[in-house]
């Protein structure tokens, strides 16, 4: 069986070759250092993305399955149930019961977690120096830009939440 790491595009052999290792050596290193096989790492990455999409968006579960890298809804449901001992729809219901109501029905918010160090002020300074007047607006702690997604036009605003090590991305249309 050909194990792949990134959406069935890059094989374990190709990644191992980039490090001048054999695929067997790479598998052994991953198992020793992380306790996972390459396919288990991919599955974990896909499940974590699916969890975030289920709790932070209103995408239909089918779209969540495909967006997180699963080839079929059936496979997604099976893997999710096995890992989390609940169907994806249950997680969405539970998360929805605790989530605060959105201030506006036309606003969506996503939280993007990052690993330190992250130079938010450096990013803002970089963007400020290249700001497009009339399309972007930058304050001391946020970045906003007009966007058009399909037939929707609105603003994307990004704010830093250092206590959560996250960026809060809000789309308003």
Residues 65-111 pLDDT 10s: 998 889 899 999 999 999 888 999 988 887 665 444 444 447 778 88
CA 60 to chain centre: 16
Q: Which DSSP helix (H) or strand (E) runs through 13?
A: helix 12-18
Q: Both tokens of residue 52?
A: 């975030």
User: Whose CA is closest to 59, among 106, 108, 103, 114?
Assistant: 108
Could you report the per-residue pLDDT of 63-78, keeping only the tens digit for each?
999 988 898 999 999 9
Task: List, in sequence order, every residue forming a beta bridge with 65; answer none if it has no partner.
Answer: none
Say if residues 16 and 23 touch (Cβ distance below 8 Å).
yes
How much is the pLDDT for 100?
A: 46
Q: Is pLDDT above 90 for 14?
A: no
Say if residues 112 and 133 touch (Cβ distance below 8 Å).
no
Q: How do strand 107-113 and strand 166-172 relate by DSSP bridges?
A: antiparallel
Could you report the per-residue pLDDT of 112-124, keeping only the tens digit for each?
888 888 899 999 9
């Amino acid at each position: 069986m050909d194990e792949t790491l990134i959406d069935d595009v890059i094989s374990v052999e190709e990644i191992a070759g980039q490090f001048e290792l054999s695929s067997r050596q790479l598998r052994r290193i991953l198992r020793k250092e992380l306790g996972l096989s390459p396919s288990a790492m991919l599955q974990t990455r896909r499940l974590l993305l699916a969890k975030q999409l289920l709790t932070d968006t209103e995408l239909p579960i089918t779209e969540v399955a495909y967006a997180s890298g699963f080839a079929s809804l059936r496979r997604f449901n099976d893997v999710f149930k096995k890992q989390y001992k609940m169907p994806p729809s249950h997680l969405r219901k539970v998360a929805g019961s605790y989530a605060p109501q959105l201030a506006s029905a036309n606003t969506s918010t996503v939280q993007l977690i990052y690993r330190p160090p992250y130079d938010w002020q450096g990013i803002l300074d970089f963007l400020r120096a290249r700001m497009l007047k009339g399309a972007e607006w930058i304050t001391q702690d946020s970045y906003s830009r007009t966007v058009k997604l399909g037939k929707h036009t609105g603003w994307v605003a990004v704010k830093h939440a250092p206590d959560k090590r996250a960026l809060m991305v809000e789309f308003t249309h």
